Amino acid sequence: MCIMTEPAITQDLISSHGINADEYQRILDIIGREPSFTELGIFSAMWNEHCSYKSSKKWLRSLPTTGPQVICGPGENAGIVDIGDGQALVFKMESHNHPSYIEPYQGAATGVGGILRDVFTMGARPIAAMNSLSFGSPDHRKTRQLVHGVVSGVGGYGNCFGVPTVGGEVRFDTAYDGNCLVNAFAAGLADTDKIFYSAASGVGMPVVYLGAKTGRDGVGGATMASAEFDDTIEDKRPTVQVGDPFTEKRLMEATLELMATGAVISIQDMGAAGLTCSAVEMGDKGNLGVRLDLGKVPTREHAMTAYEMMLSESQERMLMVLRPELEAQAKAVFDKWDLDFAIVGETIAEDRFLIMHNGELKADLPLKALSGNAPEYDRPWIETPAVTPLSDVPGIDPIDGLNALISSPNYASKAWVYEQYDTMVMGDSARTPGLGSGIVRIHGTDKAVAFTSDVTPRYVKANPYEGGKQAVAEAYRNLCAVGALPLATTDNLNFGNPEKPEIMGQFVGALRGIGEAVAALDMPIVSGNVSLYNETDGVGILPTPTIGAVGLLTHTDQIIGKEVREGHVALVLGTTEGHLGQSALLLEVFGRRDGDAPHVDLALEKAHGTFIRENRELIKACTDLSDGGLALAAFELAEEAGVGVILDSGDTQTLFGEDQARYLIACNFDQAEALMVNAQNAGLHLESVGKFGGDQISFGGVKAPLAEMSATYRGAFEKTFA
């Protein structure tokens, strides 16, 4: 028999596990001795940035996370909000950035798989998915491969699993050349009295391993995701997990069936740091210890070590604490679905994490120290300096300006992407990707839920506070524009190296803005993820705090459509001052990144959103004004409906300014008159800016055929990447 000898604990080995000198000393102080190799791996897995949030915890605590609609806030696998009638929406967004850059298909696929498990682990059946993707410059040597790999991975996993992708965003910027972002969102439906949590309870209860077998894929994945990239990136390929959506589908059905038996005390999916993290989190939340016997863990590779089994991130696995009297019923469910069911340990009264393998004690650690007592840093930070005010922007031919936007992969139609996703599976999609929020009907009811994902990284870079506010405000507007009442948010906070005070300053500023906005707009943060160290060779990404948001429609009749017709009046709610700082026009036409982000007036955002929802019966179509201003919003509405649009103004600032708290409304003449009266009574600014009709795009008398512009808009992305 081959006896594996564990490596000696050297300084190089400690450093390769992402543990600094102070942290190693802390480990020595906690356990009173040198750790074994397996113990070092366990500390590395639990104390890395990805799992412990050690650089961000202090600031995350400042976020508003409660409200009458909130059933469960941050700290569980996913957040939960009440949607009435004894039903709850379970949702979360999470990053898989580092794995997706190393191995695009599997990195993106397992990102989707992980977020789906987070949802059904809590007893919810997934009903919708979204993704927010950020890539480098379209002409960068690696971008094409990443776009193809990531989009295929997202579609490949989600389509096979059978959940509709109803929204998302795709952006390009040279700041992501060395580090793409893949943020995956999933939402599921559960009965409020059938929600499952991860806190273990009861001493001597069986700890059960469920799902697929454990292999060597993904070992060290969480630690890898907590480090910058350099020229050794190819060496990190083995740290990327491999997914199997068909197994995951069986796992979901088996898990939901198991939950119905009453056998589950607590349950946790195995995501980052695999068996280690899931066991520790269940024990920590239940104030219990855990003993594991790795000889009982189902494996698919020969002679796996304790270290490998504890740190493997093989996919499609769960860990649960079982009611022992129902073991036979529980096992029968997993046998039926041809999945592993193995009792691999038990809960214990002592604060210990004990790992046995082949009769040998491989780890004996205080469990609390791994989770609740992980390091917490108050990183030094500096305020992002105020930017220089915007210098003059030359006026531009309005059609040329629009052409520049719609021929850029940033603002062209993303049909090439979302047509690779199944958007209609389950048969309840009421609004699929393409324009504004996605909408899914709640099966068997009159209700529907709307979903959106938003951030403008340029704004956050220029002014983290206003940029953070804007990300939330845009999500709020996107939900209101389809008639939904915004309920809550999930955040995916993607930043560079937090050890750099200027990067930490971006993080702090953005969180202040996000916190203020979610409080003002009644959209508490109920779940989320922090992804730091998104850097390559010392160059960080644009700060990208993605906001995923959900809204409720109590009846599908409340949905505001996008059906623009010949003769509809075009109205803008909100004042246009023509803010061009950090605008899409400035970047795409002039190659400039100067000026400040637009100011966000949260009271006005709320007032305007409320006005849209309260007057939905008078509105035929609606969209918010954001990137590209009025020009792009009017074009997108018109193009979607196959109708021309005539805007009165040809002024560059009026057309392309990105002032916030604005909506474009299309409706009949008599409805427009009624809206004007209602806006006046509410003290809000509503003005007519043109009309829809014909077959031309006409801005201030400058015209171009709709068909020609539409061909550019629909073909630019595919032309770049197909």
> Pairing mode, if any, of strands 353-357 and 289-293?
parallel
- Beta-strand ranges (E) seen in 442-573 are 448-454, 485-494, 525-531, 535-536, 539-540, 544-553, 569-573
Question: How far apart are alpha carbons 634 and 334 in whole angstroms?
Answer: 53
The catalytically annotated residue of 96, 98, 568, 579 is 96
Question: How far apart are alpha carbons 257 and 210 in whole angstroms?
Answer: 13
Note if 148 is an active site residue: no
Note if 357 is an active site residue: no
Question: How far apart are alpha carbons 492 and 530 in whole angstroms?
Answer: 6
- Beta-strand ranges (E) seen in 76-205 are 79-82, 87-95, 125-135, 165-172, 181-191
For 212, the token pair is 């697929």
For 363, the token pair is 């780890």
Question: How far apart are alpha carbons 94 and 211 in whole angstroms?
Answer: 22
Question: How far apart are alpha carbons 107 and 95 in whole angstroms?
Answer: 10
For 479, the token pair is 């939900």
Tokens 């002039």 sit on residue? 590
Question: How far apart are alpha carbons 433 and 269 in whole angstroms?
Answer: 29
Question: How far apart are alpha carbons 33 and 703 in whole angstroms?
Answer: 77
Query: Strand, helix or coil at 440?
Result: strand
For 318, the token pair is 């769960």
Residue among 590, 606, 445 at smallest CA distance from 521: 606
Residue among 573, 576, 594 at smallest CA distance from 658: 576
Residue among 268, 297, 264 at smallest CA distance from 281: 268
Residue among 98, 100, 116, 119 at smallest CA distance from 108: 100
For 309, the token pair is 């089994």
- Beta-strand ranges (E) seen in 620-694 are 621-624, 645-647, 663-667, 686-692
In SS3 terms, 227-291 reads as CCECCCHHHHHHHCCCCCHHHHHHHHHHHHHHHHCCCEEEEEECCCCHHHHHHHHHHHHCCCEEE
Instruction: List the beta bridge partners of residue 317.
Output: 211
Residue among 342, 300, 377, 281 at smallest CA distance from 53: 377
For 280, the token pair is 């520790």
| 624 within 8 A of 477, measured Cβ to Cβ | yes
Written as one letter, the residue type at 224 is M
- CB burial string 630-667: b at 16+ within 10 A, e below: bbbbbbbbbbbbebbbbbbbbbbbbbbbbbbbbbbbbb
Question: How far apart are alpha carbons 285 and 197 in whole angstroms?
Answer: 10
- CB burial string 114-133: b at 16+ within 10 A, e below: bbbbbbbbbbbbbbbbbbbb
User: In Å, how far are 219, 220, 690 from 8, measured between CA atoms?
Assistant: 19, 18, 75
Catalytic residues: 50, 96
